[in-house]
Amino acid sequence: MPESPEPDGYSIDSRLGRIVPPRPPGETPMHAVPISPPVSAHPADARITAFPVPSADPAEEPHFMTTSDRPAPARTGLRGLLSGIGIRVAPGPVEQANRDSDARLRRDEELIRQATWTRAVGVLVANRKGGVGKTPVSLLLAGTLASIRGGSVCVVEVSDDPGSLTFRAEGSPHLGLGELMADVGSISSAGQLAGYTAPQTSFASVIGSVGDRPPLTRDHVAAVAAVIDEYYSIRVMDSGNQSSSSAFDGAIESADALVIPVLNSGDAVLEALALLDRLRRQGGRQAELADRAVILRLNDGRPQHPQVMERINRIIAGAGSSHVFEVPYDSHIAERGQLTLGKLDPATYRVFAATAAAIVCSVKVPAGSPGPPER
């Protein structure tokens, strides 16, 4: 049968299988289904938009009142009572001072805890004047460092003759410095070295004399310091009164920081100044130790004459010390018995923490340094 002719203007859409009516003049063809673009078509430019969009300025950073900008409300006294019932009141002068003190203590403890070096370091506690508190300062400074750092601090006696370090420390050890001097060449483990120490509740270890011993020499100090440094990060040395002795020279040579305790008396301060002058005259690292020395002023409870104090203040101000700290009177120290860090007054502990922070910040150890620089 012959194919029927299409009506005028009509066409056959082969995709749909039907006759499509004619389009009015000028009309764009419409497709019943979407048609994919040819394979050769390029993707649309992402920079071209259907509508013009104005450029946006960066949003301003929101300003929030942070905890550091907005002080916490008062918690003590009448101000604290008002804050407790919803009336926000700022802390008074006393409470704010206590908060500032707490913040300083936290910063000091953080500095002490995070201080690291590429080798063990030594801290020498020294003054040519006897009876000024070298042994208590050595014990409490080592205890402060150890309690904050979690141990790895040893305080050792470096005086020519037996001192009172073991007596002022906790415990009653059977072996001490004299025995360690004899056995120092055979120490090969931390456990073996621990047998010559007196462990403290502060986590510090104490090596002092438990009886008579031979006089200490430079070589003894060097050998003992070397074995302690194998197993401890910080070595605190409690020295004697003879700054010209062989043992003192050995202590100076193995020290990275110097702490000078003084009482508020003219002779104690003058002897401290004489020690600093002697070290500066020697030059080199001895002079550097003197310039970075920390002076610790102790109060033993004796009356203090205003004119004497004024003179002492002038002497200390002219000593050229990097830091000067004042330890308030503390009955636990004044008892002259065994010292326990936890029995100190809070104000005393804060001073020792500040002193320890100043010390760890002052220690300069070159990268890869195997030990204190040669003299």
pLDDT > 50? residue 88: yes
208 and 177, same structural domain? yes
251 and 106, same structural domain? no
Among candidate residues 86, 114, 142, the one where a domain is terminated: 114
What is residue 285's three-state secondary structure? helix
Q: How far apart (Å, rounded) are the C-alpha atoms in residues 129 and 133? A: 10
β-pair partners for 235: 122, 154
102 and 146, same structural domain? no
Q: What is the pTM of this model?
A: 0.75
pLDDT (0 to 100) of residue 120: 97
Other Cβ atoms closer than 10 A to 211: 12
Among candidate residues 83, 114, 145, the one where a domain is terminated: 114
**Between the CA of residue 196 and those of 146, 176, 190, 207, 335, what are the distances in Å?**
18, 5, 11, 6, 26
User: Rounded to an integer, what is the distance from CA 318 to the centroid of its chain?
Assistant: 28
123 and 79, same structural domain? no
What is the 3-class SS of 130-148, one letter each residue?
CCCCHHHHHHHHHHHHHHH
226 and 241, same structural domain? yes
CATH of residue 312: 3.40.50.300
Among candidate residues 56, 91, 114, the one where a domain is terminated: 114
255 and 306, same structural domain? yes
151 and 95, same structural domain? no
255 and 124, same structural domain? yes
Tell me the per-residue pLDDT of 255-290, one tens digit each, with 9 for 90 and over: 999 999 999 888 899 999 999 999 999 999 999 999
* Pairing of the two strands 18-20 and 11-13: antiparallel
Residue 240 belongs to what domain range? 117-362
Tell me the per-residue pLDDT of 221-260, one tens digit each, with 9 for 90 and over: 999 999 999 999 999 999 999 888 999 999 999 999 999 9
Helices (H), 9-58: none
Confidence of residue 72 (pLDDT cuts 50, 70, 90): confident
Tell me the per-residue pLDDT of 320-352, one tens digit each, with 9 for 90 and over: 888 999 999 999 999 999 999 999 999 999 999
